[in-house]
Amino acid sequence: MTHKRKDCLERPRKKGAKYTNQDIAADEVVQDIEAGYDAKRDRWNGYDPSEHSKIYEEYAAIEAARQKLREEQIDSQTDAAVRKVAKAGGGGNDEFGSSDEEDADEDKYADAADAVGQKLDAKTRITVRNLRIREDTAKYLINLDPSSAYYDPKTRSMRDNPSKNVNPEDAQFAGDNFLRNSGEAVDVQKLQLFAWQSAARGNDVHLNANPTQGEILHHQYKEKKDYLKNTSKVGILAKYGGEEYLEKAPKELLNGQTEDYVEYSRTGQVIKGRERAKTKSKYDEDGEHFWLPL
């Protein structure tokens, strides 16, 4: 046996050969060749030269298919050129007439032509989009002041805001650092800070080693913090009161409009439109009018 029983790929027999005493041929034929010193170290020992002819046949078939494809492309390109000339001359021949199918073929071969600046051929060329659309203004052209934000041409990055006097939310481009504070970047920073603080207190928390554990612990920490905060708030309000001052004023009162016209000075004093309120007296007779006899 040249292999073990567990490595055998044939169907096992119902009864083994040693139990039936049958003469079964060997599974594999191993040649016992007695080679000398040079024959053992011959790198071409056992090579069949007839195998090399198959390589010739394979390459010949590939070259024939390539030549056939090239001839078809040349014929199609020639037909497209003839149709174009016939169309320009206004010929009425139906064979060279224009149609949507012919224009599509012409566009297809025009797209298949090698473009300028591409290192790959037309068959394997992949269109790679640039980092920006050509209609958009480049970063380094937003502010031409030399003392403005620095633009790194190697990495095509501008970290600072080129327009300092414009609100970052309204600016066309607010710098690459502005994008770092958008999306889930702030949440990741909070998770990292929580992991550092937990590790400093002796807890086994590491954001990069086990991010799921860190996120779960951070979520539990926020829930517990909110619960303790609400519990403390309820206890303080129950003991000292003042819950009515925490309620927001209704929108009707905040956004209410009146017809009273009032003018104010630069210092905030009323100039016109509102009379000063009169002080009420504690005496009842101050509100009554007395007529003296003449």
Predicted pLDDT at 8: 84
Listed residues 240, 264, 287: the one ending a domain: 240
Name 121's Cβ contacts closer than 8 Å, sequence gap at least 6: 114
Listed residues 240, 255, 287: the one ending a domain: 240
Question: What whole-number distance in Å separates Cα of residue 139 and Cα of residue 156?
Answer: 9
Is residue 172 assigned to a domain? Answer: yes
Predicted pLDDT at 232: 94
- Cα angle 60, 62, 65 (rounded to 5 degrees) comes to 110
Core vs surface per residue 18-39: b (16+ CB within 10 A) or e:
eeeeeeeeeeeeeeeeeeeeee
Q: Do 171 and 149 contact (CB within 8 A), yes or no?
A: no
Is residue 205 assigned to a domain? Answer: yes
Half-sphere exposure of 289 (CA within 13 A, CB side): 1
**Do residue 178 and residue 190 come from a single domain?**
no
**Do residue 191 and residue 177 come from a single domain?**
no
Name 120's Cβ contacts closer than 8 Å, sequence gap at least 6: 126
Domain range enclosing 71: 51-112
Predicted pLDDT at 21: 76
What H or E segment, with its residue span, contains residue 105?
A: helix 100-112
Is residue 290 assigned to a domain? Answer: no
Q: Is 172 exposed, middle or buried (0-12, 13-18, 19+ CB in 10 A)?
A: exposed
**Do residue 168 and residue 195 come from a single domain?**
no
Question: What whole-number distance in Å separates Cα of residue 59 and Cα of residue 65?
Answer: 10
Name 209's Cβ contacts closer than 8 Å, sequence gap at least 6: none
**Do residue 198 and residue 175 come from a single domain?**
no
Is residue 138 assigned to a domain? Answer: yes
Question: What whole-number distance in Å separates Cα of residue 264 and Cα of residue 51?
Answer: 105
**Do residue 142 and residue 178 come from a single domain?**
yes
- Cα angle 239, 242, 247 (rounded to 5 degrees) comes to 135
The total number of structural domains that make up the chain = 3
Predicted pLDDT at 291: 60
Listed residues 194, 216, 240: the one ending a domain: 240
Q: Do 216 and 223 contact (CB within 8 A), yes or no?
A: no
Beta bridge partners of 263: 272
Encoded tokens for 28? 């594999």
Is residue 41 assigned to a domain? Answer: no
Predicted pLDDT at 262: 80
**Do residue 94 and residue 69 come from a single domain?**
yes
Phi, psi of 56 (to 5 degrees): -60, -45
Beta bridge partners of 270: 264
Q: Which residues of the chain have pLDDT under 70?
A: 1, 23-29, 89-135, 274-278, 286-294
Predicted pLDDT at 67: 92
Beta bridge partners of 157: 152
